[in-house]
Structure 1
Amino acid sequence: MRKSSIKIASILLLVVFLAAFKLAEEDFTKLISGKLEKFRQMYPVEKAYLHLDKPYYMTGDTLWYKAYLVEGSLHFADSASNLLYVDLIEQRTGKNWTLRHTHMDAGVGNGEIVLADSIPPGAYLIRAYTNWMRNSSEDFFFQKDIFIFDKTGNASAPGTGKVDLQFFPEGGELIAGTSTRIAFKAVNTNGLGQDIRGFVLDQNKDTVASFKSEHLGMGRIPFSPKSGATYSAFLRDQNGTITSYPFPEVKENGYTLLVDNLSNPLKTRIIAYANIPGKSELPVHVVGHSRGIVAFVARGKIGAKGLMMLVPNTDLPDGITHLTLFNSENKPVSERLIFIDHAHKLRIGITPSRNTFRPREKSEIEITVSDTSGKPLEANLSVAVTDAGQIQQQTNDQHILSYLLLSSDIKGFIEQPSYYFDETKAERKIHRDILLMTQGWTRFRWDEVLKDSLQPAERFLEQGITFSGEVTRNNKKPVEKTPLSVYLSNDSLNSFLTAETDELGRFTLYNLIFEDSLRIRVQGMNKKNNQNLTIKVLPFAPPKVSQAKTPYFPLTIDGQLLSEFLKRNAQDQEIARKIRESRERLLQEVTIKAKKEVQRDSRKIYGTPDASIKMTPQLVGGRTSVLDILAGRVAGVQVVGSGMNASVYIRGNRNEPQFVLDGMPVDKDFISSMNVNDVESIDVLKGASAAIFGMGGGNGVISILTKRGNDNYDYSQEIVPGVLASKIAGFHIPKAFYSPAYPANAAQNVAPDYRSTIFWAPMLKTDKNGKVRLQYYNSDAATTVDIRVEALSATGLPGFGKSTYSVN
């Protein structure tokens, strides 16, 4: 991970209630800065984000995604992990239907998920995470709700029941005699914000406050709790029914923190109050940090009327700043989140060559990317082009800007997150501030940060595929460490290596780089009792997801649009099915006469061997070593000794021959330790026949071919003691998005074309002038076309842009 720091902000302090106020002592500043920096270095944060081609799908459809992976503090597009897991979870059952190993290069990657007809329709969760991210709460995985329909458009019915209402005192607690503000949030059974009206009664049933939600079930009220008082909240629904809810408890003693960074865009006002018996003046510190990097540290005293300071926002970075009040014992006693918005982001321009195109006509689009000042930038971007007559873009849906600066740093679901970044919405900043009062910060916990010693992270950074297994002897864990030999192969890779189990019999191979799948063969290398070993794979276990209490319908879709989408999508799938059937049409019986071609064994780089032994049960019976089988069976091959101590010589040579296993050179000890039941044949090459192996074949070659090394071998046929043969999944190979071409002078294809995703380009880059161009052909639909672009610069600036044009 790159190491960076944000300059400690200069602090402008304004004393209102105290005559004395000074900057923090140097030792406390060093303490907090050092603790946060050490914590950040020990547990660096990664953030993942997925850009999807559309918000909903149909069974049989393909979900396309672009993956972004960044360093968590400054959002540099250069995370240490090269493997990103992408999976698809059914919300109703929590079942994991698909897992993709996405290869990340310089923080970007892409892939797709084919939604098979066997996938049940309903609400799903698509997640993205690295192995390193699993050291933290799963709440900080990338998670997005999508919906998969079947051909009938079936969907879950909206839930019904009691609204969930919670209250959140600013700073954390209600302190008797201290005026404060209380934020609230009401959520319905579908998990979405619910507009409400209500009131608060004290223990005498007197009304002390009334409240009404301002945005998506959220709002806040001024409140002055009294000593010894208890309060209850009540909601009144449209039918006049009144429902009671608990209200926060009033604490007699404690601290609270009030913050205002909305009245003055250049400064943040921080007010601290305290009620501690016997204390008239309380020395405190206020610490501000953004994503684990210290922004400022200041010291003052809370008097009878409180303490106020003004902090300039100039040097605070865009995004969430975490404010913490520390008491005289350097313990955190009150917290508050604020959002700093300097509007530092990528500006994305999307310019179609025309405003209107014809069906099946080529569209040409130019995309420009610049920073806030208008300077062109090189950036990595992804583009989704969809038919607005089928796909209804969701209101204020998540995009890379809202995710990196907001959603990724606070716990819990955020409804309509991009609303808080829409510069056309005048009240977005107020509503964003209320949001931060209702959703807590959990990525940095002070009790963990302030520990004297930090434990190493349990999970590691992955730069390739990890393969783990376990070895037991006679159904028990082996007491001593066990040496292993491992043979890896696929169409482009052949590799032999050795490994060793730990005291618990477990072994792991790290950072394997391969695509699609890999054949792996593991066997013990003990000099005796090798056949008593049992080797098994420890499969990757995706993190479990908590089953939704009530599956909800997470989308807003016009009924006519949904009907059009389902009809067109089913039509496209039927056309594709007929095309496949026509390609597979049966011919009448035809007799073809030719010599049978014997398929060449890819494990043999040589021609016909000088001698070959085919394994049979009678030949293997009673033998414990491959070398024992060779003894006396091949002219010119001499075996001296037996078992693990045997030596082999080919006539005319003083040294032992080169041993080869399934085409890979290995040492004799490995061959001697092999289970004879796993051998298919033994080839012997002498003199000129062995010359193909170069200097290594100067003393002849003995080539052992295994049953499991044969591509046609049925792995379910038998279990060989002491040997594990399996396949493991590698990096997903992304498919190319199919976009048909319709030349103007060519005859029109009779098959109708009503793609819902008209074009998908996940791996585009702008040039040094900040520009990139793309071309594609429109479908048959007379419609409005949506273009959505998401982008990230190498320095961590995110951006989002959208545009439309017409087809008629």
Structure 2
Amino acid sequence: MMISYATLFRKIPLIPTVLVLLLAAFQWADDDFTGQIAARLQKYRQAFPQEKAYLHLDKPYYVVGDTLWFAGYLTEASLHQADSASNLLYVGLIDQRTGKNVALRRVQLSGGIGHGDIALADSIAPGPYTIRAYTNWMRNFSEDFIFKKDIYLFDETGTPASSASSKTDLQFFAEGGHLVAGINTRIAFKAIDGDGLGTDAEGFILDQQKDTVATFKSQHLGMGRFQFEPAPGKIYTAFLRNKNGGTTRFDFPKVEESGFTMMVDNLSNPLKMKILAYCKLPGSKENPVHVVGHSRGIVAFVAKGKISDKGLVMSIPTTDLPDGITHLTLFNEQNKPVSERLVFTDHSRRLRVSLNPTRKTYKPREKTEVELTVSDSAGNPVETSISVSVTDASQIEQQPNDQNLVSYLNLSSDLKGHIEQPGYYFDAEKSERKIYADYLMMTQGWTRFHWDDVFRDSLPEPRYFVEQGISLEGEAKRSGRKLSDKTMLSVYLSSDSINSFMTAETNQSGRFAIHNLVFSDSLNLRIQGMNKKGNQNLSFTLSLFQPFSTTMQKVPFYPVTVNSIQLSEYLKRAAQDQEIARKIRESRERLLQEVTIKGKKETQRDTRKLYNNADASLKITPQMASSAMSVLDMLAGRVAGVQVVGSGMNASVFIRGNRGEPQFVLDGMPVDKDLVTNLNVQDIESIDVLKGASAAIFGSRGGNGVISILTKRGNENYDYSQEIVPGVLISKIAGFDVPRDFYMPDYQVKKPQDNRPDYRSTIYWAPMLKTGKDGKVKFQYFNTDAATRVDIRADVLSPAGIPGFAKSGYTVE
């Protein structure tokens, strides 16, 4: 029952090929390499289609006892369409100090969108945490591909002392990947402090004669760039100037005597980017090359040319490139990748989202109405889903240029490592944002695949499959040994609202799996063999879900920026709110202790019985079970009108002289006789016999009567801690988590509980709002008691894969 990922992921069309201006010896490739590279990329993408997950959190930090609310988005990775194949999103909370999962949620997605919450109980220690989101399919790839966001969980003591090192790390990156002697190029660099964040840096480069050949100084979040031409035979070393006046030595890229380099100018002309390729190879004056541009694995262009002594210049229009990152690769004459470079394009082709409160100023506890409007870049209304968070700015400080859906899909999800202040690169008010984005491309560039994988003739089978529901997997053994042939299994699933019987078959080694189960909370599970012999020798082991592996950080860092006054206010209000909640619980407990309820106890009806009363009912005792080999043996001679012929597995049964055998029912589900005779007699609770008119509820199937078997484990009151019966596995399996409703008071209706103070930090949370055909939706809520500034933030994703983000606010006086 394994799902085919190849059939679930839609075929994604190629990006329209961009036109190009011909310069020097450059022209569009029309040889076999063009078709080969496009076919290889498409084959790889179809075999290993990628997904992207994103979480919108209600706020950037929390306090012990609080609730973390999240909205989940899942898209396919190439065009960001919100209908990726997976319908199950895993959301885990990781303690950065231990790497352990302290919470895991299974979120059911509809159209790529879902939501949930994590109660931050007192048992969760304060400190730095990472919240992650991923699908089972994403486990086939690197941990770098999953969504991660760092948060902090405070307690009443407030901000901890930083345990991070003050040591600075400095790295240098040659543009295109290599330094080649005698070829002028550019060097990008990035300096990171002990907290893992960019830090100001300046210094100089020395050759082995201790001569200064270059200087550098960072311009944005520890990043910068400088021109450099390495000399043949030279070895270079970098020195960082420390704040105390000293210097620290760092490695500098090695100089190669021959090779290729590639430089890209994506800033001078807003409509075109210029690619400059150079090479130095012994005995070669003209070197045929190809340049391949692809965006998220979809070919944008393939061009070819010859690099002469003066190099090769290509001018590529960027108007048809998608928003986000385009990956450029230079291939040599042997079609081997020799140089790579990422470029970032932002055409602002995103949704236009506006948040408009009806007024700029409100009063405490006053009803607030906000109109949200979504349109595309052409101004047309968009019908789509939205998540909205409203917070008290006196308690919650929004992080500077924080992550949002636009910045994640178009930038962070396709770069390596932690991206600091990703929203900066999409803020039109930041005049230097494009230059600094280019620094980012040169220092944290990466790819979701390696070209060696793309050109491999045979691709490996994925280990993990696409999930559209809950999966049940395990292994069956006989007498502790692996099975030697396929074995049929009976599987019974039950809960308060579900009673389902199904069959499964192991493979020859005993592995079995059932996929696409859709249920909430948990289900009781019973598995046993269906063969007539040897069932008691079977044993079962379930394969529990293993969360994505965790790479521990060397030093836990303090991941949020928060003003001490805001933090103090937040902690004070959170403590007041939790104390009020504690007193309310205690009051309710005392009230319940004083109430005496009198009345006749109503006998609860067994939901496994479709009938009201049986013609005969047999309660199974240990003595009856000990002398029987099967259910039919226990019936023999004990129920009037029931005739049992033979014994054990070969017995036959007839009711009131009917020539045909009766219909068998197991815990309310019609089943075959073979399954019934194969049941462990120690597991039987009772047997009901229905004759004539009593069996009419089962229609024509009950024409020969009905024998209804009720098992101990099918009873909702059964104690699962009792001894497990040989040959039978009894367990519980977790389903989709049911999201809780976000509490919002209604101050228009007077209630006793409204007398208590209201200083909630998250004032309103709506994870799944929807705009109408006019692109609009209105939402209402009541302000708290705080006189404060209120922040409103919204993430939006259209079905076509276009993201949007907006923020707004107002004052409460």
TM-score, normalised with respect to structure 2: 0.97
Q: Which amino acid aligns with 1:43?
A: F
Output aligned runs, 1:155-166, within 5 Å. Answer: 155=160, 157-166=162-171
- Deviation at residue 347 of structure 1 after TM alignment: 1.1
Whether the 8 Å contact between 2:26 and 2:303 is mirrored in structure 1 is no
Q: Which residue of 2 aligns with 1:268?
A: 273
Relative to structure 2, which stretch is displaced further, 441-450 or 737-746? 737-746
Relative distance call for 1:807 and 1:593 in structure 2 (3 A) is closer
- Aligned partner of 1:636 in structure 2 is 641
Structure 1 residues 154 and 633: CA distance shift in structure 2, 3 A: farther
Please tell me the root mean square deviation across aligned C-alpha atoms, in Å: 1.6
Structure 2 residue aligned with 1:787: 792
1:489 equivalent in structure 2:
494
Q: What residue is the counterpart of 2:736 in the other structure?
A: 731
- The 2-side partners of 1:83 and 1:728 are apart by 15
- 2:344 corresponds in structure 1 to 339
1:589 Cα deviation after fit: 6.9
How far apart, in 2, do the equivalents of 1:74 and 1:511 lie? 26
Match among 8, 17, 23 for residue 9 of structure 1: 17
Kindly report which structure 2 residues correspond to 1:329-368, keeping only aligned pairs within 5 A, or say none: 329-368=334-373
Residue 171 of structure 1 aligns to a residue whose secondary structure is helix
What percent identity do the matched residue pairs reach? Answer: 65
Matched to 2:575, the amino acid is A
Deviation string for 1:98-141 (max 9, x for gaps)?
A: 11111111111111111111000011111111111111111111
What aligned pairs does 1:208-607 form with structure 2 within 5 A after superposition?
A: 208-586=213-591, 594-607=599-612
**In the alignment, structure 1 residue 29 sits paired with structure 2 residue 37:** no
Q: How far does residue 563 in structure 1 lie from its aligned partner after superposition?
A: 0.8
Task: Determine if contact 2:343/2:438 at 8 Å carries over to the other structure.
Answer: yes
SS in 2 for 1:669: helix
Distance in 2 (alpha carbons) for counterparts of 1:791 and 1:41 = 27
Please, which of 90, 106, 109 is the counterpart of residue 85 of structure 1?
90
Q: Distance in 2 between matches of 1:329 and 1:276?
A: 14
Change (3 A) 1:368 1:8: closer
Aligned to 1:655: 660
How far residue 458 of structure 1 moved from its aligned partner, in angstroms, is: 2.1
Partner of residue 61, structure 1 = 66
Post-superposition offset of 1:442: 2.6
- Contact 1:122 1:156 survives alignment (8 Å): no
Letter in 1 for 2:246: T
Question: Paired residue for 2:4?
Answer: none
Please list the CA deviations of residues 413-469 of structure 1 after superposition, one character each: whole Å capped at 9, or x if unmatched: 101111111110001111111101111323021111111222332221111100112
Secondary structure of 1:280's aligned partner: coil
SS of structure 1 residue aligned to 2:493: strand
One-letter code aligned to 2:388: V
Q: Contact conserved, 2:18 with 2:321, CA < 8 A, in 1?
A: no
Distance 1:21 1:598 in 2: 87
Task: Provide the C-alpha distance between the structure 2 equivalents of 1:593 and 1:697, rounded to a whole number of angstroms.
Answer: 42
Contact 1:156 1:551 (C-alpha < 8 Å) held by counterparts = no
Q: 2-side partners of 1:423 and 1:713: how far apart?
A: 63
Decide whether aligned partners of structure 1 residues 440 and 593 sit closer, same or farther in structure 2, where only a CA change above 3 A counts. closer
C-alpha deviation, 1:745, in angstroms: 7.7
Asked if 2 retains the 8 angstrom alpha-carbon contact of 1:121 and 1:155, the reply is no
Does structure 1 residue 675 correspond to structure 2 residue 680? Answer: yes
CA distance in 2, matches of 1:323, 1:422: 25
AA partner of residue 659 (structure 1): F
Where do 5+ consecutive residues of structure 1 fail to align? none
- 2:542 and 2:253 map into 1 onto residues whose CA distance is 51
Q: Aligned with 1:310: secondary structure? A: strand
Q: How many angstroms does 1:295 deviate by?
A: 0.5
* Secondary structure of residue in 2 paired with 1:210: strand
Partner Cα separation in structure 2 for residue 644 and residue 12 of structure 1: 79
Question: C-alpha separation between the residues in 2 aligned to 1:340 and 1:253?
Answer: 31
Q: Following the alignment from structure 1 to structure 2, what is the Cα–Cα distance between the partners of residues 428 and 587?
A: 62
In the other structure, the counterpart of 2:99 is 94
Displacement of 1:747 in angstroms is 8.4
Q: CA deviation at 1:593?
A: 5.4
Secondary structure at 1:563 match in 2: helix
Change (3 A) 1:10 1:564: closer
Deviations 1:177-205 (A, max 9, x none): 11111111111111111111111111111
Q: Distance in 2 between matches of 1:432 and 1:656?
A: 77
Tell me, in whole angstroms, the C-alpha distance in 2 between the residues paired with 1:414 and 1:589.
58
- Once residues 49 and 595 of structure 1 are traced to their aligned partners in structure 2, the CA distance between those partners, rounded to angstroms, is 54
Cα deviation, residue 293, structure 1: 0.8
- CA deviations 1:68-109 (Å, max 9, x no partner) are 111211111111111111111111101101111111111111
> How many Å separate the matches in 1 of 2:495 and 2:752?
44
Equivalents in 2 of 1:497, 1:229: separation in Å? 72
How many angstroms apart in 2 are the aligned matches of 1:358 and 1:158? Answer: 42
- Distance in 2 (CA, whole Å) between partners of 1:315 and 1:2 is 23
Could you tell me which residue of structure 1 aligns to residue 754 of structure 2?
Answer: 749
- Residue 638 of structure 1 and its aligned partner are, at CA, apart by 1.6
CA distance in 2, matches of 1:148, 1:673: 54
Equivalent residues of 2:164, 2:555 under 8 A apart: yes
Q: Is the 8 A contact 1:36 1:449 kept in 2?
A: yes
Report the 3-state secondary structure (helix = DSSP H, G, I; strand = E; otherwise coil) of the residue aligned with 1:564: helix
Could you tell me how far apart the structure 1 residues matched to 2:16 and 2:381 are? Answer: 29
> Is 1:719 aligned to residue 727 of structure 2?
no
Give the whole-Å Cα distance in 2 for the aligned partners of 1:592 and 1:104.
Answer: 43
Shift of 1:156: 5.3
Moved more, 399-408 or 511-520: 511-520
Seen in structure 2, the aligned counterparts of structure 1 residues 635 and 551 have a Cα distance that, compared at 3 Å, is same
| In 2: Cα distance, 1:425 partner to 1:119 partner | 39
Residue 594 of structure 1, CA deviation:
4.1
Q: Determine if contact 2:724/2:730 at 8 Å carries over to the other structure.
A: no
**3-state SS, counterpart of residue 350 of structure 2:** coil
Measured in 2, the distance between the counterparts of 1:765 and 1:225 equals 57
TM-score relative to the length of structure 1: 0.97
SS of 1:420 mapped into structure 2: helix
1:63 partner SS:
strand
Counterpart-to-counterpart distance in 2, 1:338 and 1:281: 27
* Superposition deviation, residue 590 in structure 1: 7.1
Instruction: Tell whether the 8 Å contact from 2:394 to 2:566 is kept in structure 1 after alignment.
Output: yes
**CA deviation map 1:648-679 (0-9, x unaligned):** 11123111111111111111111111111211
In the TM superposition, what whole-angstrom CA distance separates every residue of 1:387-413 from its partner, at most 9, and x where no partner exists? 000000001110000000001112211
Displacement of 1:325 in angstroms is 0.3
Distance 1:11 1:276 in 2: 31
Q: 1:792 touches 1:799 (CA, 8 Å); kept in 2? A: yes
Please report how far the alpha carbon of residue 680 of structure 1 lies from its aligned counterpart in structure 2 after TM superposition: 1.4
CA distance, structure 2, for counterparts of residue 443 and residue 403 of structure 1: 15
- Deviation track 1:612-643 (CA, whole Å, cap 9, x = no partner) reads 22222221114332222222222221222222
Given the superposition, is the C-alpha separation of residues 267 and 654 from structure 1 closer, same or farther in structure 2, using an over 3 Å criterion?
same
Is the Cα contact below 8 Å between 2:26 and 2:313 reproduced in 1?
Answer: no
Range that drifts further, 515-524 or 578-587: 578-587
Native 8 Å contact 2:26 2:314 kept in 1: no
SS in 2 for 1:584: helix
Note if contact 1:682-1:705 (Cα within 8 Å) is conserved in structure 2. Answer: yes
How many residues are treated as equivalent by the alignment? 805
**CA contact under 8 A between 2:50 and 2:77: conserved in structure 1?**
yes
Q: Which runs of 5+ in 2 are unaligned?
A: 1-8
Deviation for aligned residue 1:746: 7.8
Q: Residue 48 of structure 1 is aligned with which of 53, 75, 94?
A: 53
Change (3 A) 1:781 1:592: closer
